[in-house]
Chain A
Amino acid sequence: MIISLFKTSGHSMEPEITNGSFFIASGVPYKFTNPKIGDLIIFKNQNKTIVKKIIKIEKKNYVIAGQNLSDSMKFEPITKKDILGKVIFNF
């Protein structure tokens, strides 16, 4: 994915990304650098594109969670190849 426009559905990334808001994500940044803690990323899970934040990196596995604490700890850590792109701009 070079660059795509996304509309957010859900509240787990608030206040950074609100329900119904738009953001642009790109796979290009991770062609040259590794994801880092704090990055907002998108990845596929059960055929759905999910947006989350990297909160920890453990042996090249990325621990991800929503912004809302109540939504954390729900996904297994993912690897770099699972990451579709980085949120580079949100409106």
Chain B
Amino acid sequence: MKFASILSHLPHKTAYAHCDIPCGIYDPHASQMAAHTIIRMTQFLEEIKRDNETKVEHDIARVTHIKEEHGQLVEEELETLQNDYFKEEHYKAHKNLKDLLAKGVSLSVKTRQSIDMKAAGELLEIVMQIAEIFYKTKNVPSKRVKSTYPTELDIVVPA
């Protein structure tokens, strides 16, 4: 178990070290794109042909690196929404929001640790639900549409 994991079980407070300008620019789009990328990278990893050992190692390293980066991006984007955008009234109006954010971060870690299409699909579903809540807090109607990405899965956009 990592030392940080041990510390996280101890009572602690949060100290913020965010960008200090209250820019007001928040968007759940980046987390959805990143979740799609994780799915795509997971597809690549499942489909890699093992006919050339050197090339296979090279391809796995590159694809895994991208999957790792986008898992981190999902975590950061969700934490920005959690820490900087969502307010107490949003949590009161959407009782599942806190759980969705926690589950999203947890799944972003799980998809980095493994080649798990089920977890990647669940992550996309979670970030889409968070996106739907985000647009509700903005009083902007939203809808799920089929993305134009190779994943051919949905994405939440303003209606």
Contact = CB atoms under 8 A, between A and B. Distances in A.
A4 B7 CA distance: 12
A9 B16 contact: yes
B79 interface: yes
Contacts of A48: 16
Interface string A10-29: 11111001011111010000
Given A66-B20, A74-B20, A6 B15 contact: yes
Interface residues on B, range: 10 to 19
Interface string B1-32: 00110011011111111111100000000000
Nearest to A42: B15
B83 interface: yes
Contacts of B16: 9-10, 48-51
Interface residues on A, range: 20 to 34
A12 B19 contact: yes
B76 interface: yes
Contacts of A8: 14-15, 17
Nearest to B83: A9
B101 to A, nearest CB: 13
B19 A71 contact: yes
A10 to B, nearest CB: 4
Interface of B: 3-4, 7-8, 10-21, 76, 79, 83
